[in-house]
Each structure stands twice: as C-alpha cells, then as structure tokens.
Amino acid sequence: MTPNESTPTAVGTPTAFLDVRDLRVHFPTDDGLVRAVDGVSFTVDRGETLGIVGESGSGKSVTSLAIMGLNRGRGPVHTSGEVWLDGEELIGASAESVRRLRGKKMAMIFQDPLTAMHPHYTVGHQIIEAYRIHNPVSKAVARKHAIDMLGRVGIPRPERRVDDYPHQFSGGMRQRAMIAMALSCDPELLIADEPTTALDVTVQAQILDLMRNLQEEFNSALIIITHDLGVVAELADRIMVMYAGRCIEYGTAVDVFERPEHPYTWGLLGSVPRLDRATTARLIPIQGTPPSLIQLPSGCSFHPRCPYEPRTNGRSRTQMPELVAVSGTHQVRCHLPVAERRSIWEKEIRAKLAGGEAS
Amino acid sequence: MRRRTAVPAVAVGVTLGMVLAACGGGSDEGGDNQSGKAEAKQNAAVGQIFKPSTKKGGTIRYANADDFDSVDPGDTYYGYAWDFARYYCRSLTMFDTKPGDEGNKIVPDLAESLGTPSDGGKTWTYKLRSGVKFEDGTPITSKDVKYAVERSLDKSVLKNGPTYFNDLLDLQGYPGAFKDPSPDKLGLKAIETPDDQTIVFHLKEAFGGFDYIAMLPATCPVPRDKDTGSKYKEHVVSSGPYMFDTYEAGKSFSLKRNPNWDPATDPHRAALPDRIEMQLHVNANDIDNRLMSGDLDVDVQSIGVQAATQAQILNDPNLAKNTDNPTLARTWFAAINPDVAPLDNIDCRKAVLYAADHDGYLRAFGGSVGGELPTSLLPPSIPGWQDIDLYNFKEHKTGDPEAAKQSLQACGQPNGFSTNLAYRSDRPTEKAAAEALQASLAKVGIKATLKGYPSGDYFALYAGKPSYAKSNNLGIMLHGWGADWPDGYGFLSQLVDSRTIRESGGNYNLTVKDPEIDKLLDEARTKTSIEAQQPFWAQIDKKVMEDATILPGVWAKVLLYRPTRLTNVYVNEGLGGYYDFVQLGVQE
Amino acid sequence: MFRYIIRRLLASVLLLVIISMITFAIFFLVPRLAGATSDDLAARYASRAADAAQVHALSERLGLDQPIWVQYGKFVKTLVAGADYDTGTGTDHCSAPCLGYSFVTQNPVGPELLDRLPVTASLAAGACVLWLLGGVATGVMSALRKGSVFDRAAMGTALAGVSLPIFFTGLVTLSVFSYSLGWTAPGGSYTPLTQNPAQWAYDLLLPWICLAFLYAAAYARLTRSGMLETMGEDFIRTARAKGLPERTVVVKHALRSTLTPITTIFGLDLGLLLGGAVLTESTFSLPGIGKYAVDAINAHDLPKILGVVLVATIFIILANLIVDVLYAVIDPRVRLS
C-alpha cells in the first residue's frame, strides 16, 4: 500500500526557529527554466543541527542562498514559498530588511576559505568589518572582539594573527578564521556550505568538533550542507537528502543512517569510504549522472539511475512520487512500497555496507 | 630665398570639411571700411592694395607651422623669414613695398641710393642714410654693416644662410668674423669702410646684379659688442621699426615698437600695428582653421591653404572671396638625366618632353589654383622672361604621342625604353605628378618605374648625388625650384650652372651640363646693370629647353587665405608671392 | 623591498646606456648603409648653398667626422661632466648633466627639454585624472547594469573612443568648440600652472578631454570586464553574506580587487604618456616633449633625439618600477623577488 497523501505543508504561524515551506527557486535562462529548488520544506530549531545532503546540482546550496537572500538581484530569479526566521518571513520581505539580518541573525560559511575571503584585506579587517556593520562600536573595540573570536575558534596567538592576510594561514586555520568571522555577531542561525570539503581529513574532524562546540556555546541553529554523509554522521540531529531540487528523504540521523528507505540514500551510504570496512572493498557508486535541472526526467527524477525502477511497474517513469511520512519523524519520496523498501534495506543493502565483499 | 613647400596635411579631408561646412567659415564682412569701400573678392590683394590704411594700432598675430631657421638676419635662408626680417632689420637695399610689378624693383633702404659700380662692376659702393639708429639709440655706421657681412661668412657657426657673399667677395682666405685675428674683428679687406657712412665691396669678378645681393638680410647692421654668435638670435638688435620683446626658443616670440626708429629715414615702411606676436610649431590644419575663424592673422610661411580645406574654401563664395592666388617665382619640373642611357641621346630626351601629359602634371599640383601650364623652365614672374614654347606644349596639353614616337625613331628606340623615375615619396603632389607622367610616357612605350625617396635626403644622397643617380638608372627625377629672389640670376645660377655640380651630393643642378649655358651665365654676370642682364635669362631658358634636360611641370601659384582683419594688404612680387608683412595693418 | 628597488635602479642605468647606444647606432649606421659619408650627414644641417669645404667645416664643428665610438664617448662625457660650446663670439658652458646642443638650432637641449616637460606633464596629469574618473566610473556602472541601455550606450561610445584617432577628434573639436563657438581655447594655448592656474586649466581643457576620451574608453572596457569577473568571485558572496550594503560590496570589495591590474596598466600608460603625447601635442600645437621629439626626428637632430629618448626611457623605467612596487603593496600575495 502506498499512502498517497503528501505530507501537508505546515500552515499557520511557524513555531520552529527556522521554518522553510515549499521553497522554490527557478532561474530563467536562455536554455530554459532551471528548477534549482522545486518545493523544499524543513525546520530547524535553535540548538539543533540539520544536515542537507546531496550531489552537486541537487539544489542544496541554492536552498541556503535563498534563505540568506543572496539570490536576490543576481539576474533573473523566481523565488516562491516561505522562509520564516524567528517569526519573520524573508521571501516576501524587502531586500534591505533581509540584508540587515545577514551576518547578524543568520550567517554563512563557505567551502573554500581562500577564495571566500578578500585577498587584499587582513583577516582582522574582514572580521572587524563584519562586526561593525551590525554593531556601532569603535575600531579598537571591534579589534578586541576580533582577537577574541579568533581565540575562541582555536587560533593560537590571535593578537598576532589578526593582522595576517588570508593566504598566510594554513587551510584549517583559514576555515577557523572564516568561522570566527561568521560568528562575530552572534548569529542565531549558522549555515555551513561544504565547510570541510577543501580540507585534509585530519583537519576536517577538528573543524567539525569546533562547530559542534560553538553551536553548544552559542545555542545556534546549524545547517550543514554537504555531499558527504560521513560529515553529518556525527553532527546532524536531522538529515534531509536532496535530489534534483527536491527533498527525497527527511528524518533524524538515526532514521537516515539506520533505516534509510530511498534507493538514492542507499547509494549515498554505499559511496562513503568507511574506516571499518576492509580496504579492498570497493565503494558502491551510484550509476549515471545527475540530471539536467532544465529537462528533468519524467515522473520520479531519480528513475533513470534507480536499480529498483523496474519494480515500480512503470509508475516511476510517469508519476512524481510524493513525500510521504513513514513515521513521525521520517519522510520518503518513493514509489516502491514501504514494506518492499524495508525488506530491500534489511536483506540486501545493510549487509553489503557492514563489511562484506562488494558485489 | 626659399619658399617652404607645402607639407602634406593629414587627410582629415572629408569629415573635417563637412564639419567646417556645417559651422560655416569665418566671420562675415561687417565694418570693414577703413578708407574707401573695400569689397572683398578673390585676388583683391594681387596687383593692388586691399583695404589701404594708414591707421596705426593693434596686435598682429602670426603663426608658423614649424620654426624659423633663425631670426638672426645673418643666418636665415627662408623667403618668409626675409620678408619678416623687414620688421626689425634694414639691409642696404630692399624690394619696394608696392604691389604688382613695382614690387620687383630694388630701392635703397639703409643706403640712400642704389649701389655705384666701378672697376667694370667689380667694385660696388653704397652710402648709408644718416640718422638711422639701433634700438638702443646708437647710430648705425658702415662698420656695423661690414661686421654683419663678415660674421655671415662663417658657415659653421651661422650655418643656415645663403653663400652669395662667400662666392662673390674677394675673400683672400678670410676666415669669417669669429676667427678674425684682428682686434676689432674688421679684418676683411674685401669690404672697405672709408668713413662711417660709406661702404665699398670688392668682388672677385664683375657682377651686375649686386644690388640684389645688397638686399640680403646679411647686410642688416649688427653691433659687434652685442653680437653673441650662435646665440645672437635670442635677441637680435633692431634697426627697423620694431624690436624684439620676448623670445622663447622654439615656442614663440614677440616684437614691440622700436622707439629709436625714425620714420623720416624710412620712406618705405608703414609699420602700422603696435605689436607683433609669433607662435611657432602650430599645427598646419589648425592654422587654416584659425585664419578662417579670425583667431589668427597671418600664416607666416604662406604655404597656402592645406589640401584638406582647399576644395571647401573654393566652393564657398563667402570664403573664396577672401583668397589670393599669386604666382610664385617657382617651377616644378622633371630633370632628364643625360648620364643615364638611352637619355644620353637628345632625341630620346625630346621624346619624353613630347610624350608628357602637361595637364596631368598640373592637375597633380592642384590644377589652375596650383599653378599655370609651363612651356619653359623660367617662370613668368622673372623680369626678362619671354614666351618660349619649343615643343608646342600649349597645343598638346595632354602630350603629343606622334612627335614623341618620331623622336624615339630618331634616337634608335622605336619601341620605347625603360628607365627609373625618382620622386619624393612623402609629397603626395609629387607622387601624383610622377604617376601622371608615368602613364603618359607608357603610351609611347617609355616604361618609367617609380622610385620614391625621402625628401630629407633626396638631394644629399639620392637624386642629388650623381654617382647614385647613374648607378640606379634615375633617368627622370622630379624637382622643384624657387628663386632666392625673382631675378634670372637668383633663379638660374644654382640650377643650370654645370660648375656647381659636385660629386659628393647635395646638388640642385641635377642634369644641366652645357658649357654654352655656363658662358651665357658668366656673360650676364658681367653686365653692370640689372636691366642689361635681363635679355640673357630668356636666352639661357631657350638653351635649356633646346638641350631637353628639363621637362617643365608647373609654374607655381599659391592659394592664400586673407583674414578679414587685415588692412593694407597686398602681395609683394619681389619677395616672391608673400604678403608684404611690414605693410600689414589690423583693424579691431 | 629596498634592495629590490636598488637592484632595479642599477639595471635601469644599464638599460639607459644600451638604449642610447642603439639610438646612436640607428642614427649613424642606417645612412652609412645607404652609402652616406659624415659630410653627407652634415649637409642636412648646412645651408643648401654651402659648398663641400663649408659642409666639411660644419661636419667638424658638429663632431660628425669622428668615429662613432668617439662621438658616443663625447656624448657620455658631456652628460656626466658638462661641455663647452663655441658660439663664435665666446663659449657657452653647459653643466652636467648636459644633453648637448641641437645640430639644427644650436640651442642647448637640456633646458629645452626641461621647459617642455611641464607641458607634457600638465597634459598627462589632467587627462589621466579625467580618464580614470570617467573611464572607471563608466566601467563600474556598465558592469553593474550589464545589458542595460546605459551599458550598451557606454560601450558603444567606448568603441568610438578607442577607434577615433586623436588628430581627428582634436581638429574637429577645436573647429567646433574653439573657433565656431568660442567656448574653449584655440590651439597652441598654454599657460604655466604657476602663472595662472585657472588659465592653465582652461587652456588645456580641450586637449585633456580629447586625450582622456581615448584612454577613458579603453579603461571603461577594462574596468567593465574586470568588474564583471570580480563580481562573480567568492569573496563578493561572502561580503554580501556578512550583510554589507551593496555599495560597500561594490566599492570596497569588488572595485578594490578590480583596480589592482588597472592600477598597473595605468602606471605604464602614464609612464609612456610622459615620454610625449605625440599626436595630441601635434594636433593642439602644445610645446611638449612629444612634439619636440617629432620635430627632432624630422630634422634628423641627433642631440635632441637622444635627449628625448633618454627622458622618455627614464619615465618608462620609473613607471614600471613604481607599478611593480605598487602591485606588491596593494596585493599582499605578491612578493617581489
């Protein structure tokens, strides 16, 4: 049985700190309409961490940019839906009011700190700038704050390093500096877009630790965007898996790691290199490539790559599956019957992932 | 004197013309009546005075597209500079300040009368007027004239001027004033100064036209204690109605009235403006624009209106009425080289003369505005000129292929021959003439290959160097010559005297080597009066045409723009087609 | 940094020596190849009526009869120790650094160059302010309003500016604005700054505008493409993410980064311009170094040519050096080696 009712989009005043409802971001281009984000809904509370996972082109970054209002004025874009931040709706708000929130109430850190920071200004200058735009204080006070922040993110000798340029930091230190900059105004929402992708594996862990500690300290809501499930395994309270601009699985970390129900999620889990598996074991890649966001496949966007597509009797090819709750916290968008999905998971996938030989 | 030839203008042409047409030309006539009704029309200042005036005052503004070779009267060879020098220096004689043929006559200036020849024309004596002073009040004596000539003999320090005194005086090895061993620097025996008012010149040989030589600015007196040699031009001491006020080398200079000039001693100069201002190195196109808009009064070089604006001015009656088109003592021509076979045969040379398209040559130089169709070498403005048309150019304006072919038969080249045609590549008019000539010669089988050379070294290294011309087969070489002064000797002496040809290059006589012509020149020189010399010039002209070593191309004219602000303006024929600068006035 | 500058300056001296040698070589060897003797060369400066003996005497006076290395040695000695010049009635002394005396006018070259330098400098200074402000501002606006009417109009005008030669725009604007309308000064007007600043600016207004138009066009295009590229950089997104107002993002972040290469180009352009804005000076009859150079070349006046070449080279060398140092100052990632 396949419950066809879609989970209704929440109505009425939001209760969560961040409440995203049916967010759509479309870009009209000469080649056609790019549906980067096509109806995404989720919530994040303060103190909570959401992991948004997906391949490149899944729409995860565009989602976060839409929350920050960074898509506005960047050429033609159609944004619809609602983004409620602490009771204030952002999509319909003026650009100026959203700008005032950026850096202050919500902040973002980016993938490559070397290109994401201005090469000609010192790190201290950039942090001071971020601070003074929202807090009218003197330069001296702001500088002290910057040194303080650098210390809190674990940079040694911050009073010296505050006058260094970004290129004078190592990769990990640089990312810490960017985090310091993002947190300088005490934002209640922090979005981290691929925060560790550009870093060594050993440094990755440190940064993730840092982020967790800071979240606890500031009690902020944290969104981590990544293509790597391993990154969110430790940190995320809940995980949303995106594919082709839509959410295809949404649930707690336990839901997604212990009882994933979408073939794409299974594929993602299989492609995570794990230390507890035999090194000779091959990764299980997902065959095929992500679809064009202009010409999405008919029906289920994932069907061309789905090994279980034949089991849907052609419905995947014609009908877009709805996002359906399978438990109080867990939602999945798939035509395969629930029971069948669970059975596939238990019998076929889980074993493979637990250290057996790859087929 | 040498008239600067038109430097080819940048081809701004059509667009500039359109803009200028849209803006209209200079200001229209209004309030121009000084004395009598002065109706502007073309050539109003040729042959008569336009807007005659005696009204003094105002500042007259000159511009020069380049720079003077020098304002030092002993160091200059440009015709316009000699014209301009009459503002601040007085030579022994001068061309009369009158329009028309009167301007061709020599009258006494610093001297009280023309020279007195003696010793068969080998000695010439002048008496200076009394009461003439330098700008500081010092009286001018004959010693000042002697010193002036002596210093001009040094062609190393004062390198620019003509060499007539070097050639004519009996120097006996005199090294010039600067190396003169005598303490008063007056050691030249060839010039005597028996008293302060008398000066006597001793020549090597008799020379009838010495009054022309006495007209040279080199005879403008120079006070020895104020002479600074190569730096004298920074402040030339005036003997004329104006003196130098400011002088910025290479940029500008100005003159103001000389308080010690006594008009009673100077019957020839009007000296109307109070001030004269000269700007140097002004863009040539800009000069034209400023003349027409009234921001400038005189283009001192008098090159004439630039090609870019000529058509536009002539087609607009409002502008055309402010133009003058005087004839110059200048001929453009092609020299035919008897050193290059088969042009060593006179009939082959005649073939070139017959075949040439005279109309095409003239059109290349601007048509009827640029000049007249010539039939011989000597231009008609030279006194003594006679109409000589040995090859019937007037009847066969575009050439006479029949006669040419007959000549080719006679010289043994019935099917024509090949030769090289040299011209100055940076002069578009010359290039156009070369092409016209080439085309007309081709009709009779004479294949002329064009060879362009830079004008800077044309005479020093190429056409003017006999060995180069011969080894490079330069059978025809385009040339142009203006008289230093409109007199047969001034025109012909450096052009057709075979003895001036030197192997080292720098020749202006490229092709005329006829001992009979040399003899005629010598004979003319000995005549003791200018009038007695005049019949010789036509004879020499005829002989040159008989020798067929010169193909005349154009008897040159120049198109001058006459700003409406000028009064008392006319062309001085003696000076060679320039406005008589020292007579000009300006109305406010 | 200091050592770097010293090393560059020493290399510059060597460069000046080499360039002066090359100038000498071109001046003398090229006519030699055509078969000219030193007397032929001297004939250029002599009266056209001078005979062989007089030309030879002039050749001796100008030193042209000496071998090239002797003449070059004299040039160096004159430069370093000064020289005496025989004026006929006495000697004129020119103290070091002395650039000799003109073959054509016999005036000392050094003072003439010094006199003309302010003209070229004035022309360059005014024009560069105009073209920087105009060009960069236009380029920024075009980039921010990419595809708009303003952008298209601005880039179209820029294309005209880059394509139209200055002797055209100069003569046309002179004709219209100076002579027909009388709004601007006629050609050849120049008043020194120290004499009358207001007049100085008025006289140079039209040449400034024409020259600036030429460069502004190029800089507008450069700035536009640079801005478009920079605005797509990651740090711009970060700046916005910090909540900076757009104007701050454009000016302090984008422009700062875009201007870095433009600054270096500007330095080089300015250096070249100080060596003589030849066409502008000729068109507007301004007595600057460029016009001086053209006239000297036309007249084959070696001392003047050498003087200009040296001065122009010094400016270009200095401009290059300043630009390199400036780049290191502006962009902390650059290290001078």
In A, which residues are within 8 Å of C254 by CB distance?
none
d(CA B359, CA A311): 100
What are the Cα distances from residue B32, in Å, to B12, B27, B50, B162, C214?
33, 12, 11, 41, 43
- The pLDDT tens digits of the residues spanning B236-263 come to 999 999 999 999 999 999 999 999 999 9
Amino acid at position C240, single letter: R
Q: How many CA atoms lie within 13 A of B559 on its CB side?
A: 25
Sign (positive or negative) of CA dihedral B483, B484, B485, B490: negative
d(CA B495, CA B343): 19
CB contact, 8 Å: C240 with chain A?
yes
CB contact, 8 Å: C43 with chain B?
yes
Query: What DSSP string describes C234-295?
Result: HHHHHHHHTT--HHHIIIIIIIHHHHHHHHHHHHHHHHHHHT--HHHHHHHT--SHHHHHHH
Domain boundaries, chain C: 2-108, 110-336
Give the list of residues 6+ apart from residue A129 with CB closer than 8 angstroms, or none: A121, C242, C244
B563 Rama class: left (phi>0) / alpha (psi -120 to 50) / beta: beta
The mean per-residue pLDDT over the stretch C82-111 comes to 92
Q: How many CA atoms lie within 13 A of C294 on its CB side?
A: 18
In A, which residues are within 8 Å of C246 by CB distance?
73
**With touching defined as 3+ CB pairs under 8 A, do chains B and C touch?**
yes
- What is the set of domains in chain B, with CATH numbers? 59-278+560-586 (3.40.190.10), 327-557 (3.10.105.10)
d(CA A189, CA C90): 90
d(CA B72, CA B216): 12
Strands in B447-453's sheet, in edge-to-edge order, are B371-372, B550-557, B327-336, B474-482, B418-424, B447-453
Q: What's residue A281's pLDDT?
A: 56
Q: Quick one: CA torsion of C135, C139, C140, C146, rounded to 10 degrees?
A: 160
Of C54, C188, C300, Cβ closest to residue B155: C54
Which residues on neighbouring strands pair with residue B174, listed in sequence order? none
Q: How many CB atoms lie within 10 A of CB B228?
A: 15
The mean per-residue pLDDT over the stretch C182-200 comes to 90
In B, which residues are within 8 Å of C49 by CB distance?
77, 162-164, 494
Q: What is the CA radius of gyration of chain A?
A: 21
Residue B36 CB burial class (10 angstroms; 0-12, 13-18, ≥19)? exposed
Q: What CATH number is given for C110-336 in this structure?
A: 1.10.3720.10
What are the Cα distances from residue B174, in Å, to A244, B64, B463, B560, C194?
106, 36, 33, 43, 50
Q: What is the ipTM of this complex?
A: 0.88
Percentage, residues of chain A above pLDDT 70: 91
**With touching defined as 3+ CB pairs under 8 A, do chains C and A touch?**
yes
Sign (positive or negative) of CA dihedral B6, B7, B11, B13: negative
Query: Chains touching chain C at 3 or more Cβ pairs under 8 angstroms?
Result: A, B
Q: What's residue B362's pLDDT?
A: 93
**B127, B198 Cβ separation under 8 angstroms:** yes
CB contact, 8 Å: C256 with chain A?
yes
**C303, C109 Cβ separation under 8 angstroms:** yes
Q: How confident is the model at residue A6 (pLDDT cuts 50, 70, 90)?
A: very low
Tell me if B156 and C92 make a contact (CB, 8 A cut-off): no
Q: What's residue C150's pLDDT?
A: 92
Q: What's residue A278's pLDDT?
A: 58
What are the Cα distances from residue C333, in Å, to A119, B377, C240, C255?
7, 77, 23, 17
The mean per-residue pLDDT over the stretch C280-286 comes to 92
Residue A112 CB burial class (10 angstroms; 0-12, 13-18, ≥19)? middle
Among all chains, which residue has been given the structure tokens 């040698």?
A: C21
Q: What's residue A274's pLDDT?
A: 63
Planar angle of CA A111, A115, A118, nearest 5 degrees: 125
Tell me if A165 and C333 make a contact (CB, 8 A cut-off): yes
Tell me if C50 and B159 make a contact (CB, 8 A cut-off): yes
Structure tokens at A167: 């290129």
Q: What's residue B19's pLDDT?
A: 41
In C, which residues are within 8 Å of B19 by CB distance?
172, 175-176
Sort strands A331-333 and A246-252 into parallel, antiparallel or unpaired. Answer: antiparallel
What SS3 state is found at B211? helix
- Give me the residues of C, 131-160, that contact B with CB < 8 A: none
Tell me if C287 and B163 make a contact (CB, 8 A cut-off): no
Q: What's residue C180's pLDDT?
A: 87
Tell me if C107 and B250 make a contact (CB, 8 A cut-off): yes
Of B77, B159, B461, Cβ closest to residue C45: B159
d(CA B368, CA B345): 34
**B270, B52 Cβ separation under 8 angstroms:** no
Give residue B118's Cα distance to chain centre: 30
Residue A12 Cα, gap to closest chain C Cα (Å):
29
d(CA B178, CA B162): 18
What are the Cα distances from residue C277, in Å, to B281, B453, C273?
15, 28, 5
Give residue B577's Cα distance to chain centre: 8
Give the residue from C252, C257, C265, C282 showing the smallest Cα distance to C128: C265
Amino acid at position B437, single letter: L
Find the closest chain C residue to A64 by CA distance. Answer: C241
- The pLDDT tens digits of the residues spanning A29-56 come to 888 899 999 999 999 999 999 999 988 8
Query: What DSSP string describes C127-194?
Result: HHHHHIIIIIHHHHHHHHTTTSHHHHHHHHHHHHHHHS-HHHHHHHHIIIIIIIS--SPPTT----TT
What are the Cα distances from residue A26, in Å, to A33, A59, A63, A293, A326?
7, 11, 11, 10, 29
Residue A18 CB burial class (10 angstroms; 0-12, 13-18, ≥19)? buried
In C, which residues are within 8 Å of B23 by CB distance?
175-176, 179-180
3-state SS of chain A?
Answer: CCCCCCCCCCCCCCCCCEEEEEEEEEEEECCEEEEEEEEEEEEECCCCEEEEECCCCCCHHHHHHHHHCCCCCCCCCEEEEEEEECCEECCCCCHHHHHHHECCCEEEECCCHHHHCCCCCCHHHHHHHHHHCCCCCCHHHHHHHHHHHHHHCCCCCHHHHCCCCHHHCCHHHHHHHHHHHHHCCCCCEEEEECCCCCCCHHHHHHHHHHHHHHHHHHCCEEEEEECCHHHHHHHCCEEEEEECCEEEEEEEHHHHHHCCCCHHHHHHHHCCCCCCCCCCCCCCCCCCCCCCCCCCCCCCCCHHHCCCHHHHCCHHHHCCCCEEECCCCCEEECCCCHHHHHHHHHHHHHHHHCCCCCC
Q: What's residue C27's pLDDT?
A: 85
Tell me the pLDDT of chain B (588 aa) as tens digits.
445 444 334 334 444 444 443 333 333 333 444 444 578 899 999 999 999 999 999 999 999 999 999 999 999 999 999 999 999 999 999 999 999 989 989 999 999 999 999 998 999 999 999 999 999 999 999 999 999 999 999 999 999 999 999 999 999 999 999 999 999 999 999 999 999 999 999 999 989 889 999 999 999 999 999 999 999 999 999 999 999 999 999 999 999 999 999 999 999 999 999 999 999 999 888 899 899 989 999 999 998 888 778 888 989 999 999 999 999 989 999 999 999 999 999 999 999 999 999 999 999 998 888 999 999 999 998 989 999 999 999 999 999 999 999 999 999 999 999 999 999 998 888 999 999 999 999 999 999 999 999 887 888 889 998 999 999 999 999 999 988 888 898 899 889 999 988 887 778 899 999 999 999 999 998 887 888 889 999 999 999 999 999 999 999 999 999 999 999 999 999 998 899 999 999 997
Q: Is the preceding peptide bond at B342 cis, omega within 30 degrees of 0?
A: yes
Q: How many CB atoms lie within 10 A of CB A357?
A: 9
Q: What's residue A277's pLDDT?
A: 57
**B483, B382 Cβ separation under 8 angstroms:** yes
Q: How many CB atoms lie within 10 A of CB C247?
A: 8
* Site from C144, C146, C151, C240 to mutate, A interface, most A CB atoms within 10 angstroms: C240
Residue A29 Cα, gap to closest chain C Cα (Å):
15
- The pLDDT tens digits of the residues spanning A154-187 come to 999 999 999 999 999 998 899 999 999 999 998 9
Residue C325 Cα, gap to closest chain A Cα (Å):
15
Tell me if B77 and C47 make a contact (CB, 8 A cut-off): yes
Give the list of residues 6+ apart from residue C247 with CB closer than 8 angstroms, or none: none
Q: Is the preceding peptide bond at B535 cis, omega within 30 degrees of 0?
A: no
d(CA B508, CA B491): 12
The mean per-residue pLDDT over the stretch A284-311 comes to 84
**B109, B126 Cβ separation under 8 angstroms:** no
Q: How confident is the model at residue A293 (pLDDT cuts 50, 70, 90)?
A: confident
Q: What's residue C48's pLDDT?
A: 79
> Is A296 or B145 the better-scoring residue by pLDDT?
B145
Query: pTM of the full predicted structure?
Result: 0.81
Planar angle of CA A286, A287, A288, nearest 5 degrees: 120
Sign (positive or negative) of CA dihedral B73, B74, B78, B82: positive
What SS3 state is found at B310? helix
Amino acid at position B171, single letter: L
Residue C253 Cα, gap to closest chain A Cα (Å):
7
Query: Chains touching chain A at 3 or more Cβ pairs under 8 angstroms?
Result: C
